[in-house]
Structure 1
């Protein structure tokens, strides 16, 4: 048989051979809250069956200029068998050369964490992208202390174009690409951004081209930004507690959009970027954490399921006085409307809770007050006010403005 005929016979076989589809990325999550709190322990238990791996904030280190201060959240045992542990090193250490003396206190913490036998140790270090070679020096030293426990760096999209980046991650057992970050405005009145899906897509595409396994960290949280009288940022609040003895001139709010995130996850589940092993969500939903998605939202998003808003005004009649509440009957947090307009004729009315009242020619305007957290979680309601009608009515006529 001639070579030409052999090639002809083999061609249909090679032409029909298809590349095996890549698996959808696994679901992982960070536990940044203290695992000793009962509600956090309950959330860890609830995550079983949905979240493949948890990564618990174990220690935070801050460079004082002369030494490291260390805050340990995990000391004697793992909060969950097989979970990962995260070592956070703040920006205060960003100018260190990571000499042996500077590495030594960090190495001691890594040894202690490795002794707990976690699935891995992540190093979340605020390294300037111009000093990635120093980061590599630190990681080399810490991996020796971790022994057989994988040491995984957390990285940023802006680092991907640096020549030192591939060198940094090439000898690691993968890396985490954090595509969520708080982008603060220079002045009040400008938008605050936590998650941009276009940036995430672009970063995933660049990471896929490197041929090194990676995971992507995405946001579930929101924050409140305080501005001073000069229009500059004075505080960023990502938990419920606000600073004492401070009063902002104005506030801005942001929350990672669950619908945008769900659309991106659906895209990656269908056609994952090469090398993408998992999406790690920051942070695990915990009951009472109002600046974070609730559990029902999280479950939808990690499956790539978007949801339509279902926000209504409910009226409860008490002997002719109607109490008004805005209610979220959907599965995702929904922005509270700026205005709820009532067109039913009334004899008296007033605002309450999150809303104040103004009377206009087209009806009563219940206006959302400034400075309140503007998202309403699924299944929750918030008082808007009350009204009394001239005649008994079975329905209050209303509509919202965004």
Structure 2
């Protein structure tokens, strides 16, 4: 028995098979915030080493504070020109501002943009970062509607947005005034929950995609903060700028493993209208509360994360410098303890952050305070002058 299939049936089957094939989504764009108020020589290496993995830089340009007024970030225009990536100027309007003077704020923004262009910088957009309460969204939308026609027509305007706005009936009008939004999902709302909740962030991103009909980005944390002692109100939050307040600080750090899992999930099942991820913030070599750039790049590349701590020795004439090296791609807490087999030691001591207990054949270095060893980094732990150190007999306790 023979079966004959007509041309129309063949085409229908081919169309059905094509629809069943999984078309891979384009990769999520990944960008960086540069949030330092004053640039240093460390920015040169950070920009250079981040260029391959992050398409765009969003740079703090101008801030407005309730009492202090307007303040510009001291950028290095030569480094930005050399970097060459698309550049978005970020204007930070403090959420505690009682009101926005439309004319003054617009004039300040236009002036800084004009000055940047005069320094040879080509702008790819402007972002307004204003943590307004939901009740103030109508006034915020009015400001954006006033600002938009004052900007060059070809210059995209975006805003940083808060998950709390999801419940506001004013949100559609606010989003209608801009070309895109950046949903910020990291904040210290409850210290017991840490700096970041990946499951909650995912729910917010899905909800934002249903509300917004324009592209949006997700701002993700690659840093930590310290909670300062309560001084009669909410605890202070210290990040890249030290706050002169005494008392023990409680450190909160965004977990790279949790962020990596979230980013991987967003790539696999993308919320509607999600255009990319923006990491806060570009880490500098001396930024003790940011992930290392090695870890940030590994998360951005969706690479498996691991720390690998080794004890290192540098010997000269019986004097051993003892250190730790992190040969993985994941920043690691200082280990609680490390032991070194040694004999006939005439002197030994621990360096800052550790204390030493010594027996005839063992040196034990015990952690006194918390710290982090960046991926690819190393630090000295102590020294010893001994007749013999068994370099293969060292052990690290996490």
Same fold (TM over 0.5): yes
Match for residue 382 of structure 1 among 371, 379, 392? 379
Query: Residue 155 of structure 1: CA displacement?
Result: 0.5
Aligned length: 378
Could you list the runs of 5+ residues in structure 2 that have no partner in the other structure? Answer: 1-5
Query: Which residue does the alignment assign to 2:354?
Result: 355
Distance 1:338 1:269 in 2: 36
Do 1:262 and 1:303's aligned partners in 2 also have CA atoms closer than 8 Å?
A: no
Distance 2:249 2:75 in 1: 37
Distance 1:316 1:163 in 2: 65
Query: Which residue does the alignment assign to 1:204?
Result: 205
Q: TM-score, normalised by structure 1?
A: 0.81
The correspondence of residues 57-96 of structure 1 with structure 2, limited to 5 A, is 57-64=60-67, 69-73=69-73, 79-80=80-81, 82-93=86-97, 95-96=98-99
Query: Which residue does the alignment assign to 1:156?
Result: 162
Query: Which residue does the alignment assign to 2:253?
Result: 255
The correspondence of residues 44-123 of structure 1 with structure 2, limited to 5 A, is 44-64=47-67, 69-73=69-73, 79-80=80-81, 82-93=86-97, 95-96=98-99, 98=100, 102-115=101-114, 116=117, 118-123=123-128
Query: Which residue does the alignment assign to 2:181?
Result: 175
Do 1:177 and 1:217's aligned partners in 2 also have CA atoms closer than 8 Å?
A: yes
Do 1:180 and 1:219's aligned partners in 2 also have CA atoms closer than 8 Å?
A: yes
Do 1:341 and 1:399's aligned partners in 2 also have CA atoms closer than 8 Å?
A: yes
Distance 1:46 1:398 in 2: 34
Aligned CA-pair RMSD: 3.4
Query: Which residue does the alignment assign to 2:329?
Result: 331
Q: Does 1:226 align with 2:225?
A: no
Do 1:23 and 1:272's aligned partners in 2 also have CA atoms closer than 8 Å?
A: no
Q: Secondary structure at the match of 1:288?
A: coil
Q: Deviations over 1:229-282 (max 9, x none)?
A: x7987643322x6445x431x222233222322232233334432211121111
Structure 1 residues 278 and 62, CA gap change in structure 2 (3 angstroms): same
Distance 1:262 1:254 in 2: 17
Structure 1 residues 342 and 393, CA gap change in structure 2 (3 angstroms): closer
Distance 2:164 2:11 in 1: 46
Distance 1:273 1:243 in 2: 38
**Structure 1 stretches (4+) deviating beyond 6 angstroms?**
5-10, 74-78, 230-233
* Range moving further from structure 2, 78-87 or 205-214: 78-87
Could you list the runs of 5+ residues in structure 1 that have no partner in the other structure? Answer: none
Structure 1 residues 76 and 35, CA gap change in structure 2 (3 angstroms): closer
Match for residue 165 of structure 1 among 166, 171, 176? 171
Do 1:28 and 1:53's aligned partners in 2 also have CA atoms closer than 8 Å?
A: yes
Q: Does 1:131 align with 2:115?
A: no
Query: Which residue does the alignment assign to 1:281?
Result: 279
Q: Secondary structure at the match of 2:286?
A: coil
Do 1:314 and 1:326's aligned partners in 2 also have CA atoms closer than 8 Å?
A: yes
Structure 1 residues 387 and 114, CA gap change in structure 2 (3 angstroms): closer
Do 1:310 and 1:329's aligned partners in 2 also have CA atoms closer than 8 Å?
A: yes
The correspondence of residues 177-192 of structure 1 with structure 2, limited to 5 A, is 177-183=183-189, 185=191
Query: Residue 109 of structure 1: CA displacement?
Result: 1.8
Q: TM-score, normalised by structure 2?
A: 0.81
